[in-house]
Amino acid sequence: MEKALLYDTTLRDGMQGESIFFSPDDKVKIAKRLDDAGIHYIEGGWPGSNPGAQHFFELAKDIDFKHAKVTAFGSTRRPGTTCEQDANLQALIDSEAPVITIFGKSWDLHVEAIMQNTQSENLAMIKESVAYLLSHDREVLYDAEHFFDGYKANPDYALKTLEAAVAGGTKCLVLCDTNGGSMPCEIDDITRVVIDHFKRISVPGLIFGIHCHNDCAMAVANSVNAVHAGATMVQGTINGYGERCGNADLTAIIPILALKMNRACISPENLEKLLNLSRFISETANVPPVNSRPFVGKSAFAHKGGVHVSAIMKNPKAYEHMAPELVGNVRRVIVSEQSGKSNIEYKARELGVELGENGINRHQIVSSIKELEDDGFEFDAAEGSLKLIMEKLTDQFVPYFELESFRVVVEKDKERPCYSHAMIKLRMGQETEITSAEGDGPVSALDNALRKALATIFPQINDMRLVDFKVRVIDGKDGTDAKVRVLIESRDENNIFSTIGVSEDIIEASWQALADSFQYKLSLDNKNKAE
């Protein structure tokens, strides 16, 4: 089995994406998770460019990485100076990273028009910088920046830049599609030409890498094509974070290499960590996960059409290219207006709702779901409410509380912002509970009042917190009288669940979603106790 090396640059190239920032402590946490997942190289940043990167390398010195080599990134020496005089190279050495990746110019446009340098001096910069860093007992990787554009413009000179790096002593040449404009066929052809060129020169132990950007939505495809053409190392970022349109997404590349191309790059046990790794880095970056992201997205193995669901119940291969569990994901069946009875059967089994044997409940649930979705509900985004609806339609729902009434007062004066006060009256069994509470807004006040009323009987609700609140106008033609959809996402120590409410009144819709979230939480706890 051929081997592939994984090189992660989330902590450097990934941070060049809009709205992506990691503190040095964040970077340490991410590096530990990358190491635990079996990544081979973790690029920690450019120590000569900012204090934050340098701080990371100081922290990383005390960490015992089990799999990964921490890598510092920088450029070749500046024109017209020596390596000993170059502050950037000194910062790379001072980082004490065991591996150093430096980039140099491969495109004569950059050499002459951007740097206002000469081609011969550029070649000297590459060769001398690689040799200098190797003399300090470091593994040195060479990133050939803009290589594919450079090759297309001037192939002879582009190859000479690689030869300069090899003459300096590097054993790894990384070909970069820095502008992200190359097509897969070009990547394949040029990579083969480069590898064949160095085979003729016969450099022992030389390997090739690929570094792609996603400006034409081809970064993953280009990376895979380069591996197919003979590249061994693949550089990318988790979730594809990066400048402009991002970098090649390792959450797609890793399973493609391991499962589709039979490349030894990661163990099956570490592959199963991929979903959690993706979500951890997304949460650390404070960027919502992309549901449609291949392999690790929430929707990657989601099925909505009734024909699809009927088929996967017989054999998942009918509509899935791989088992979701291999990357830590799960199969999801969505119930919506497009659902059939197969969706209901699958979902009922998953949620623990008994349907009976006569099929009447299935038909009733399908009809009711379609009517509710026509009214504005959207149950593929609110499985908590879906479970409660299914229980109500099959007479299995046992409410933990029932609303008698609530009142919300919103007040504002010129001295302070709006604040809200809610009074709520609940029936719990034979008892009636009346409580009131304040909040930063009407929904916050209702939430606080409901918690206050329930906590005396159900103290476990203190473990639950609201993590997301979304309001969508369903049809804007009615202006402020339009019907709205409220989605609430909640979590406790072990679960994340979503609930929904729909009404022309935003407070009423919010109450529906809020009440469902508490009913669902209590039903989960009751189920866990029974088990």
**Res 476: pLDDT:** 64
Residues 134 and 262 in one domain: yes
Residues 339 and 251 in one domain: no
* DSSP category for residue 290: -
Number of domains present in the structure of the chain: 3
Run of H or E residues at 431: strand 431-439
Residues 177 and 313 in one domain: no
Tally the C-alpha atoms within 13 A of residue 97's C-alpha that lie toward its C-beta. Answer: 33
Binned at pLDDT 50, 70 and 90, residue 336 comes out as: low
pLDDT at 338 over 60: no
Its pTM stands at 0.75
The predicted-structure confidence for 151-204, as pLDDT tens digits, reads as follows 999 999 999 999 999 999 999 999 999 999 999 999 999 999 999 999 998 889
Tokens found for residue 315: 């054999």
**Res 403: pLDDT:** 93
C-alpha distance from residue 262 to each of 17, 66, 277, 474 (Å)? 31, 24, 22, 47
Q: Return the CATH number at 165.
A: 3.20.20.70
Binned at pLDDT 50, 70 and 90, residue 415 comes out as: confident
Residues 526 and 452 in one domain: yes
Complete DSSP assignment for 117-181: --HHHHHHHHHHHHHHHHTTT-EEEEEEETHHHHHHH-HHHHHHHHHHHHHHT-SEEEEEETTS-
pLDDT at 75 over 90: yes
Domain limit, last residue, from 343, 362, 393: 393
Look over the chain and give the mean of its residue pLDDT values, rounded to a whole number: 91
Q: Which residue range(s) make up the domain with 128? A: 5-266
Residues 460 and 347 in one domain: no
Residue 204 lies inside a defined structural domain of this protein? yes
Q: Say if residues 487 and 506 touch (Cβ distance below 8 Å).
A: no
The predicted-structure confidence for 508-526, as pLDDT tens digits, reads as follows 999 999 999 999 999 887 7
Domain limit, last residue, from 217, 247, 266: 266
Residue 507 lies inside a defined structural domain of this protein? yes
Rounded distance, CA 485 to CA 382, Å? 11
- According to DSSP, the β-strands at 69-75 and 233-236 are unpaired
Rounded distance, CA 463 to CA 448, Å? 14
Residue 281 lies inside a defined structural domain of this protein? no
Binned at pLDDT 50, 70 and 90, residue 505 comes out as: very high
Residues 381 and 486 in one domain: no
Residues 110 and 258 in one domain: yes
Rounded distance, CA 151 to CA 90, Å? 31
Residues 190 and 322 in one domain: no
Residues 427 and 385 in one domain: no
Range from 189-198, 287-296, 331-340 that averages highest in pLDDT? 189-198
Tokens 């900012």 belong to residue: 50
Residues 255 and 311 in one domain: no
Residue 319 lies inside a defined structural domain of this protein? yes
C-alpha distance from residue 512 to each of 1, 403, 447, 508, 516 (Å)? 55, 10, 12, 6, 6
Residue 51 amino acid letter: P
Residue 224 lies inside a defined structural domain of this protein? yes
Run of H or E residues at 333: strand 332-333
Residue 74 lies inside a defined structural domain of this protein? yes
Q: Say if residues 423 and 430 touch (Cβ distance below 8 Å).
A: no
Residues 413 and 519 in one domain: yes
Domain limit, last residue, from 348, 369, 393: 393
Residues 331 and 387 in one domain: yes
Binned at pLDDT 50, 70 and 90, residue 42 comes out as: very high
